[in-house]
Amino acid sequence: METNLDIEPLREHVDDVLKQAREQGATQAEASASLGAGLSVTVRMRAVETLEYSRDQGLSLTVYFGKRKGSASTSDLSDAAVAETVNKACSLARFGAADECAGLAEAARMATSSPDLDLWHPWSIEPAAAIELATECEAAALDSDRRITNSEGATVSSHSGARVYGNTHGFCNGYRTTQHSVSCAVLAQDAGQMERDFEYSVARHRDDLDAAPHIGQEAARRAVERLGARKLGTRQVPVLYPARLARSLFGHFLGAISGGALYRQASFLVDSVGQSIFAPLVSITEEPHIPRALASAPFDDEGVATAPRTLVANGELHGYVLGSYYARKLGLESTANSGGVHNIVVSDTGRSFGDLLADMDTGLLVTELMGQGVNPVTGDYSRGAAGFWVEGGTIQHPVSEITVAGNLKDMYQHIEAIGSDTELRGSVRTGSVLVSGMTVAGS
């Protein structure tokens, strides 16, 4: 797989289209160019199922004629295609409606330096070696327990990418990233019941991936443990979200404090800055410069410099998640979040996962969530679930065909503890979360 992605040709493409946009009368313009290459191998039931090599490139341009905006993009970087892309963007802008909040992010907010965040670690793995690794991963699952009767496969993938962003403020910069992963999903069957589960590992550097046999064995263990699931009667109990699922709780929070939702009044957290929306034990920061982290970035998609900041301190909301457009709509300033968040870190309360089980005593450990039953306007929360019933701090038996319900405003206030078992496989870093007083609906 190709591992030498050069930034300089992308920078030249960005400079070129900005120059052409200015020549056609654009008062402002911004452009980004990207290049990526990847390898993905899937082995299923000990045979190669897919072997894919991908290579993609693209160029996007947004131009402003005063307060009128036009955008166009292309995957063809030939001179003729690029020139046509500029023409299309400018044509759209000339006939578009004016928007007083349109335009580039403020020039004073552009990143003046680009710290090395250690995001580029290409893995020159050959297809044969990737097949061997995927086979080893799946075999570890299939051979671990006689009840593992089928497999959705084990996948090994590696991707390298480069992106450059520039605008007519004079900003033009970019960086390269890599992301590698190993995953496995299997099915367990016993006494006429079948259950599925999975495990995966993802990292910037291949050396940070979990061992392939461990991933397979963990997928098998999780699937087997779900066999023999029972139903529950409806009740109100504490619910423990393991770290891999707890991220979704804070994902709903981030959606509710994003600029678009706030401007449209489609959020249960409108006008909540300064209010205590979480239990006092909860603090949340954004840490964009963590080396090798999956959501680290020196600047956002508009060139605005990223920096550590506090979102929640002792339960109180300190700020929103904004790019420049919705910041202007709301009369605020960009928080360098055009394109998303950069490593949301949730503080823990120093308790292990086992401690949280003991603290819960009797309740539900949820291991799977299904459906999209969250109302972003009201905060009402109702999702299909599966997991384990816990009594005396000890797991008793698996449960399925249940629903966990509440309201996010109440759930956030009723967080009783956050574990030290921090999940690092995503843009939200949190440990397991214990929430009291939720409704578990069953038979």
Helix axes 7-23, 79-95, angle to 10 degrees: 40
Mean pLDDT of 400-420: 97
pLDDT exceeds cutoff 70 at 120:
yes
| H or E element that contains 129 | helix 127-142
Per-residue model confidence (pLDDT) at position 2: 53
Q: 158 pLDDT band (50/70/90 cuts)?
A: very high
Determine the Cα angle at 78 with ends 72 and 83, to 5°.
45
Mean pLDDT of 186-201: 96
Please tell me what DSSP assigns to residue 281: T
What are 168-193's pLDDT values in tens digits?
999 999 999 999 999 999 999 998 89
Tokens 């299997």 appear where? 186
DSSP per-residue letters across 3-45: ----HHHHHHHHHHHHHHHHHTT-SEEEEEEEEEEEEEEEEET
Mean pLDDT over each residue of the chain, to the nearest integer: 96
Contact by Cβ (8 Å): 340, 298 = no
Give the whole-angstrom CA distance, residue 281 versus residue 259.
26
What are 13-63's pLDDT values in tens digits?
999 999 999 999 999 999 999 999 999 999 999 999 999 999 999 999 999
Tell me the β-bridge partners of 53.
39
For the chain, domains (ranges, CATH) are 7-225 (3.30.2290.10), 235-441 (no CATH)
Closest to 24 (Cα-Cα) out of 75, 72, 77: 72
Contacts of residue 283, defined as CB under 8 A and 6 or more positions apart, other chains included, come to 310, 312, 313, 314, 315, 346, 347
Q: What percentage of the chain has pLDDT greater than the value 90?
A: 97
Contact by Cβ (8 Å): 159, 179 = yes
The 3-state secondary structure of 55-99, one letter per residue: EEEEEEEEEEECCEEEEEEECCCCHHHHHHHHHHHHHHHHHCCEC
**SS3 (DSSP) at 211:** coil
pLDDT exceeds cutoff 80 at 1:
no
**SS3 (DSSP) at 326:** helix
